[in-house]
Amino acid sequence: MGNKSRKRDIRQLSLEQLIVQITDFGEKPYRAKQVYEWLWKKSATDFNEMTNLSLRLRELLRRNYSINNLVMEDEQVSDDRTIKSGFRLYDDNIVEGVLIPTESRMTACISSQVGCSLSCKFCATGFLERKRNLEPGEIYDQVVLINRQAEKKYGIPLSNIVLMGMGEPLLNYSNVAKGIERITSGNGLNMSPKRITLSTAGIAKMIRKLAEDKVKFNLALSLHAADDRKRNSIMAINETNSLDALQDALHYFHIHTNNQITLEYIAFKSFNLGNEDAKNLVKFTGKFPCKINIIEYNPIGRGEFQKADPEEMDNFTCILEKKGLIVKVRRSRGKDIDAACGQLANKSQRSITK
């Protein structure tokens, strides 16, 4: 590890804490606001960039603190223009993020943890060890770097952010909330929270906490089966967060926030697309309005699941639509570079940048 790891990341300080530190250095309190702006509005990665500060103050900051910014380690470009990036953290861990360009939007898919502890059987990240939570600055940095990538490659800034990358965001809620605050604040990147979606495997008590905190971003539940027996078999988290508990929590979330709820539903061949599965899904949605994304399964090399046939997906979708549900079939992007949903696993630490 470099020197950064032996000093406290200055981005761990709140503005109030930064004011105390700056005045302890013998500087005026307004200098703290200048530092804060450099960190969160201008995304500075070096104290020497802070040119409206005195050399003395910059040196004091450098001696006492680090800025543990992410570094883009590698980049892979898909045939469909999706870009997967590996980001190196200050402690040499790697996380992955994805830029997903479409005709109507530029979306950053970002990570919240190094690895994951939930071990969902269809997700490549679930087979990795969870090493640690990402810090707010590391969540923020992914957005900064992917936005620069979008502007450089396609001339268009980010329009949307989804926390659907590596890790379970609600098991790192405090840092995720702080990261989102920096991304959405007028003192930060000033992005609309309505353009942000947090995706969870389903932790009922934390969904309720989101409601009580009256978050302004959107929520997506990775459902994939509306039957407890089936869901238990693919997602161990369901054993302690039953569908009834999740249904009540999502109802609670909607009542308190009125924010959009999305149900993500991966289509597995001969597993979760039968008539009874559709009936169970309709029943699950009975307490709250939502939209449903039917997602193509993306193989992860373990062979336990297969991609559903188009006819099977179409039949399932038609049943849901006849019941009045809003359904969208999401075709996978970035499959050729293992950047599609469920495939992030750091397979490649080095790749050719196109």
pLDDT at 28 over 70: yes
Active-site hit among 27, 73, 96, 264: 96
CATH tag, 3-66? 1.10.150.530
- pLDDT tens readout for residues 313-353: 999 999 999 999 999 998 766 555 554 454 445 554 433 33
More confident residue, 297 or 43: 43
More confident residue, 186 or 297: 186
Whole-angstrom CA distances from 177 to 109, 112, 180, 210, 213 are 16, 11, 5, 10, 10
pLDDT at 309: 92
Q: Which residue has tokens 């926390």? A: 163
- pLDDT tens readout for residues 204-240: 999 999 999 999 999 999 999 999 999 999 999 999 9
CA distance 84 to 44: 23
User: Could you confirm whether 341 is annotated as catalytic?
Assistant: yes
Which SS3 state, helix, strand or coil, does residue 293 take? strand
Question: How much of the chain exceeds pLDDT 70, in percent?
Answer: 90
What's the mean per-residue pLDDT of the chain?
91
pLDDT at 231: 96
> What residues contact residue 305 under an 8 Å CB cut-off, 6+ apart?
121, 122, 268, 269, 271, 297, 299
Q: Could you state, in order of their start, the residue ranges of all structural domains in the chain?
A: 3-66, 71-337
Is it true that domain 71-337 has CATH number 3.90.1010.10? no
pLDDT at 226: 98
Active-site hit among 109, 116, 290, 341: 341
Whole-angstrom CA distances from 232 to 35, 239, 268, 343 are 48, 6, 15, 21
Strands 106-109 and 160-163: parallel
pLDDT at 256 over 80: yes
Q: Are 31 and 42 in contact (CB under 8 A)?
A: no
